[in-house]
Amino acid sequence: MQKTRFSAVLATFILCMVVWVLITWSFTVQELAAGVLVSLATAVFSSRFFAHGDSFRFFNPVKIFSLLGYSVTFFSELVKANVNMAKVVYGGCKAVKPGIVKVPTAMQSDYGLALLSDSITLTPGTITMDVAEENGQNYLYIHWIDVAAESGEAAGEAIKGSLEKGTRRVFE
């Protein structure tokens, strides 16, 4: 297990405090003091799970803009997949051809893998079942409701072509 580092605690503390202020939306001294106490306790206990490597990665404006750009890409993919799923459902759920494909991915870091597989799961029609590593190459097992290509590379291009480019810009 990782050791607790000061920079990781500070980054987690700032994030918790921002969320606290957004949720309570009150700036009296008592509320802010309670927020500082709760955020500090959370940060001390959970920073070693939450922040690995460079803790202040996201205080870099370039990364924030690439994350915003990625969310635009992701939203357009999301709308396309939702429209397809609505067509299948309102057509009577007949056109399903489910299968689990094994897709190679170029992502290396844990955060990149997590963001990519979360995005894939959040798109209707695909769910990431598992991540496995073989000889330094990471693979995703993806349940796909309408299998259009059985080989790993072609399926990967169809499922995560534009998503993966965006995630790589954010995390590596």
Partner 1 sequence: MMIAVRLLIDVLIVVGAYFALAGTIGILKMPDVLCRMQASTCIPTLGVICISIAGILYAACFLHSADNAVKIAVIALMILFTNPIGSHVIAKGAYKADQRGAKNLKLNPDDYGRDFNE
Contact residues toward partner 1 (CB under 8 A) are 19, 22-23, 25, 78-79, 82, 85-86, 88-90, 92-93, 96-102, 117-119, 121-130, 132, 141, 143, 145, 147, 150
CA 105, CA 157: separation in Å to the nearest integer? 10
- Please say which residue, 4 or 83, places its beta carbon nearer to partner 1: 83
Minimum distance from CB of 53 to partner 1 (Å)?
A: 20
- Please say which residue, 3 or 97, places its beta carbon nearer to partner 1: 97
Q: Find, among 80, 101, 98, the residue nearest to 145 by Cα.
A: 98
Separation in Å, CA 151 to CA 80, 102, 103, 110, 136: 23, 8, 8, 25, 20
Q: What is the torsion angle, in degrees rounded to the nearest 10, for the CA atoms of residue 84, residue 89, residue 92 and residue 98?
A: 70
- Please say which residue, 5 or 152, places its beta carbon nearer to partner 1: 152
Minimum distance from CB of 26 to partner 1 (Å)?
A: 8
